[in-house]
Structure 1
Amino acid sequence: MTHHPDESPGFLLWQVTLGWQREMTATLAPLDLTHVQFVLLATTWWLNSQGEEPNQLTVARRAATDIKMTSQVVRKLEDKGLVERRVDPADTRARRLRVTERGAEVARAAVEAVEAADAEFFRRVPDPAALLRILRPLAAPPDETTP
């Protein structure tokens, strides 16, 4: 049986995701950040604010990004003067991350801009709390105990 595309959750999610990504790109462009740069900068900034100086693997896991891509993007953030990478004294192969003063300013502004853009984008959703309840299990990593 063939279903109409509007009855396909995957197709609708794809359309919503593309629209949301366009909004994020437009929102972050004035701050000279790509979306992935924003996610990694904001994640590092948040972890720093919790008293952590995470390594790149910790940031990648928290942001659910590929570790190699994370390393490349963090280098770009370092080139922009937004993040400092320091050798981890416990493991000289690892790099600890700290957002610079300028990086914290950019992160703060970017988080505010993204939150405002999210509010505007999702304003048509009648029950935002219900949407979060639906999305959380889909965003969680698969249960490794499930076959």
Structure 2
Amino acid sequence: MSGTSKGPTPGSLVWRLANKWRVAVDRTLAPLDLTHAQYVLLSSLFGLERAGRRPSQRELADHTGLEALYVSKLARTLEADGLIERTRDLTDTRAVRLALTDRGHEVVRPAMGLVQELLDRLLAPLGGQDDPRTAALVRDLTTLLDAPLDLPPSRKDS
């Protein structure tokens, strides 16, 4: 490294943008008494249920990209708030299945609407959700997310 700054690194920009968006979602959802992480769990569960699935906590963790232990903690909180129900899987007693309650459905629907409105505002500088620039951003971010973390070094050490 030369010590000369060439501007922010891609990692720094992704980290700053992720934090900026998380704060924006937290503020948007505050009137519904939800955090961004709780919203991710609830909206993902909503989508999976619409697809006919009743995921386990592990499956929901894999689907959302959240750590399994964090999903367990979130699920317990959301269960205490009456938004989801957690039940032991009858065929695998280690697994806990999740489902939205009626109250969970009542909360997640307006939350999804609020987050969609926010997403419209956040993506406006790229031309909106349907703009080709947004589609390109989604493709690029997906490529980065799908890349394994254990990539070999790009150059050989001497």
Same fold (TM over 0.5): yes
Contact residue 5 and residue 11 of structure 1 kept, 8 A? no
Partner of 2:57: 56
Structure 2 gap segments, 5+ residues each? 128-132, 153-158
CA distance in 2, matches of 1:10, 1:113: 28
Q: Residue 62 of structure 1 aligns to a residue in which SS? A: helix
**Per-residue deviation, 1:141:** 5.3
**Distance in 1 separating the partners of 2:80 and 2:104:** 11
- Deviation of 1:128 after TM superposition, in Å, equals 1.2
How many residues are aligned here? 145
Q: 1-side partners of 2:43 and 2:99: how far apart?
A: 11
- Establish whether residue 22 from structure 1 lines up as the match of residue 23 from structure 2: yes
Aligned to 1:133: 139
Q: Which has the larger radius of gyration?
A: 2
Shift of 1:59: 0.5
Q: Look up the match of 1:4.
A: 6
Query: Displacement, 1:13?
Result: 2.1
Partner of 1:45, secondary structure, is helix
Distance 1:35 1:141, change over 3 A: farther
The runs of 5 or more residues in structure 1 that have no matched partner are none
Q: Residues 141 and 72 (structure 1 numbering): CA distance in 2 closer, same or farther, change over 3 Å? A: farther
Runs in 1 of length 4+ with deviation above 6 angstroms?
Answer: none
Structure-1 separation of matches of 2:107 and 2:90: 28
Output the CA distance in 2 between the equivalents of 1:141 and 1:68.
Answer: 23
Paired residues for 1:1-147 under 5 Å: 1=2, 2-6=4-8, 8-126=9-127, 127-140=133-146, 142=148, 147=152
